[in-house]
Amino acid sequence: MMMRFAHIVFTALLTLPMRAMAVADPGPIGPPGGGGVPAFENPIGEGGLLGVICNVRDGLFPILLSLGVIAFIVAGVLYLFAGGNERRLALAKTALIAAIIGIALAFLAFGLPSIIANLFGVEPTELPASCQ
């Protein structure tokens, strides 16, 4: 019973801002000064989808590469401290393979915009400047 009451109170408090906004008068809709349809800027920018992919790639590459190098170092330390234990050696080998695959995927990400462009028939000269 108490749980149900708490659920009802929580739901009422959660929906309170929506109820207050439903009562408020938003005023006239449209650009300041009235008339016409409001103009919106493209939130993606000039490059479109490929530009967004290139920007994400450029931002994530240093992070992924750093994580790959750290994983490579951790795998080396695991191998160093394995002490001949077969289970620890297998763990170190698995970590080393995972680090190598991670670094390879980070470098492979640079080809992703070109692959997507080829899939959709976009010429390499039409790629956004951030993908060059």
pLDDT band at 93 (very low <50, low <70, confident <90, very high): very high
Spatial contact of 117 and 124, defined as CB atoms under 8 Å apart: yes
Read out DSSP for 20-83?
A: HHHHS-----SSTTS-SPPP---SS-TTHHHHHHHHHHHHHHHHHHHHHHHHHHHHHHHHHT-T
Give the tens place of pLDDT for each residue, 22-79: 655 656 565 666 555 666 666 666 677 777 888 888 888 888 889 999 999 999 999 9
Give the tens place of pLDDT for each residue, 9-26: 778 777 767 666 665 565
Q: Where are the domains of the chain?
A: 48-131
Counting other chains too, the contacts that 76-80 makes at CB distance below 8 Å and 24 or more residues apart are: none
Cα dist from 117 to 38, 66, 97, whole Å:
33, 28, 30
Helix axes 112-119, 48-80, angle to 10 degrees: 140
